[in-house]
A and B are shown apart, each in its own frame.
Chain A
């Protein structure tokens, strides 16, 4: 599986944007970039995914570098409910039956 690298932790103030980086220098052409997050005492939940173009949804935005070797998850206005571990995951479109989680980035939001 292609690997991703994320910072261990990040802190943010409430209502400020959070930019979560992810490096994936060995990404292949068929790998989609996915983000999941895990709130305390819960199972992971899907946040967003993309292939080449930037993506927006109601939860977040995903900015993908032109060479696809890195990406950034953007939470536009962090709330206390966004405190979680965020995982950046690569999934091959032809072999997409499992998610390979790393350690993720623990996001702390200060009130």
Chain B
């Protein structure tokens, strides 16, 4: 399977704990995106990387959230001191700028986070 993969698929944690999610994009894609989706809503943009550089962060990304893409390949999203409001589906997507002006985003299956 050469699509976008995310790990874990499900995570249940207690309020106040830290969690980390991983995303492996399509190998030749230089852009990687994180979105968050709550029940009944469309995904909301959180942040994106071009290669290893984080170029944009949404206001939704509070100080408790941090994302990295250290070698321009896989990415991690960490949430510190989780709150119940963090419960959501966290989606990762990747794309290639070689298809400018349009670069289709390919999404992974998401990580569903439940904070108790």
Residue ranges of A at the interface with B (Cβ–Cβ < 8 Å): 32, 41-46, 49, 85, 87, 91, 93, 96-104
Residue ranges of B at the interface with A (Cβ–Cβ < 8 Å): 4, 31, 33, 35, 40-45, 48, 50, 55-56, 91, 93, 101-110
List 9 A-B residue pairs with CB atoms under 8 Å apart, sorted by A's residue number: A32-B101, A41-B109, A43-B107, A44-B43, A44-B91, A45-B107, A91-B102, A98-B56, A99-B105
- Which of B33, B42, B43, B102 is most buried by chain A, counting CB atoms within 10 A of its CB? B42
* CB < 8 Å A-B pair total: 56
- On chain B, the residues within 8 Å of A41 by CB distance are 109
How close is B99's CB to chain A, nearest CB, in angstroms? 10
CA distance A96 to B31 in the complex (A): 11
CA distance A32 to B30 in the complex (A): 22
- On chain B, the residues within 8 Å of A99 by CB distance are 35, 43, 45, 105
CA distance A85 to B41 in the complex (A): 10
Q: A102 touching B31 by the CB < 8 A rule?
A: no
Contact of A93 among B55, B93, B102, B109 (CB under 8 A): B102
